[in-house]
Amino acid sequence: MLATSFPRESLLHVVKTLPAAPLILARLGRMLLDLNADLSDVTALLRCDAALTARLMRIANSAAYNTGAPFASLEQALARVGFSEVYRLTGFAATAQLTDEQLPLYGLAGARVRENSLLTALVMESLAPAIGVDQRAAYTAGLLRSTGKIALNRLTRDPAYTGRYPENESVPLAHWETDFTGLNNCEAAAFILNEWRFPPATINAIQQHYAPHGASPALAHVLNLAAGAAAGAGYALPGESSYWAVTPEKLAAAKATEADLEAAVQAALMEFSRLRAAVA
């Protein structure tokens, strides 16, 4: 076991080894804010990454999105899926690329991280309109909240690091990560998403969502509640259970009620059942 303070350069190196899809997702988010952008601009951006294009076609041609003849091209798929759905679809594909690998540091299969990310994002997306937070920022925070785990898993491939998160989950995850690596996965995710130029609201929500406090943005409280809901639905990740207690303070900070949260979870689970196989 090796505890150290990670130099910025080490994390920057990891960023360069990660799939390009989340970076393209960030660019897409900015592009969709431009009223002059059209589908050809979006298609050109998405074609920058052949692996992302292939994944998008696979999802678009799945039963969740297409019950007719297979789409023959990305242009056709995006035109049929709809301009408003492009960001959501690209987010699914980006998350699938990020979670293609195993995470031995945590004893996790990539599929488990992907399922947790997808369900958390769907809860966020369902809850956002009821509480007045930006739906795209909420969805993105849910999808990418475990990016830091993927980064720390890659950082600790160095032979100098021996060990993994204990199976008995005897210590909360963020404390163990900090002792083992010098930072926790929420901090690592915030650093990486900042490099990818995601909006500050999304970055701050992920960085603070394990222990949101009075000064935290509402989105951090919402993400805490959504991640806890995903765990409660059977898609928990190791070491996080102590972060997810639903309290009146969290609900008030998120401007949500228990009924809002329950309704969002039920809607998300229905959508999750439809999309899970497509995103795998």
Q: Could you tell me the pTM of the whole model?
A: 0.94
| DSSP-derived secondary structure letter, 196 | T
Quick check: is 5 in a domain?
no
- Tell me the H-state helices in 145-257: 147-155, 173-181, 185-195, 200-208, 218-230, 248-254
pLDDT band at 7 (very low <50, low <70, confident <90, very high): low
Q: Taking residues 35-60, what's their average pLDDT? A: 91
Residue 2, sorted as left (phi over 0), alpha (psi -120 to 50) or beta, turns out to be beta
| DSSP-derived secondary structure letter, 71 | P
206 shares a domain with 86 = no
Q: What is the pLDDT of residues 182-213, one digit of tens each?
A: 899 999 999 999 999 999 999 999 999 999 99
Q: What is the mean pLDDT of the chain?
A: 92
59 shares a domain with 112 = no
Domain around 144: 104-280
pLDDT band at 237 (very low <50, low <70, confident <90, very high): very high
Quick check: is 60 in a domain?
yes
pLDDT surpasses 90 at 108 = yes
Quick check: is 55 in a domain?
yes
Residue where a domain terminates, one of 99, 118, 145:
99
Q: Taking residues 23-49, what's their average pLDDT? A: 92
Q: Taking residues 148-162, what's their average pLDDT? A: 89
200 shares a domain with 181 = yes
- Tell me the H-state helices in the chain: 8-17, 21-31, 39-46, 50-60, 74-81, 86-98, 110-131, 135-144, 147-155, 173-181, 185-195, 200-208, 218-230, 248-254, 258-279
Overall number of domains in the chain: 2
Cβ atoms of residues 137 and 206 within 8 Å: no
173 shares a domain with 59 = no
What pLDDT sits at residue 159? 82
151 shares a domain with 84 = no
Quick check: is 14 in a domain?
no
124 shares a domain with 81 = no
Strand partners, 108: 103
269 shares a domain with 153 = yes
Quick check: is 1 in a domain?
no
HSE-CB at 252 with a 13 A cutoff on CA atoms is 6
Q: Which of 125, 142, 143 is nearest to 134 (CA)?
A: 125
CA distances from 52 to 25, 89, 94, 116 (A): 10, 11, 7, 21
Cβ atoms of residues 212 and 250 within 8 Å: yes
Residue where a domain terminates, one of 99, 130, 158:
99
pLDDT surpasses 70 at 52 = yes
Quick check: is 7 in a domain?
no
90 shares a domain with 157 = no
202 shares a domain with 84 = no
What pLDDT sits at residue 5? 59
pLDDT surpasses 80 at 2 = no
Q: How far apart are CA 2 and CA 177, in angstroms?
A: 11
Residue where a domain terminates, one of 46, 81, 99:
99
Q: What is the pLDDT of residues 116-154, one digit of tens each?
A: 999 999 999 999 999 999 999 999 999 999 999 999 999
pLDDT band at 6 (very low <50, low <70, confident <90, very high): low
CATH code, domain carrying 257: 1.10.3210.10
What pLDDT sits at residue 39? 87
142 shares a domain with 93 = no
30 shares a domain with 133 = no
109 shares a domain with 94 = no
Which of 18-32, 58-72, 249-263 shows the lowest per-residue confidence on average (mean pLDDT)? 58-72
Quick check: is 160 in a domain?
yes
Quick check: is 146 in a domain?
yes
Q: What is the pLDDT of residues 80-103, one digit of tens each?
A: 888 778 999 999 999 999 999 999
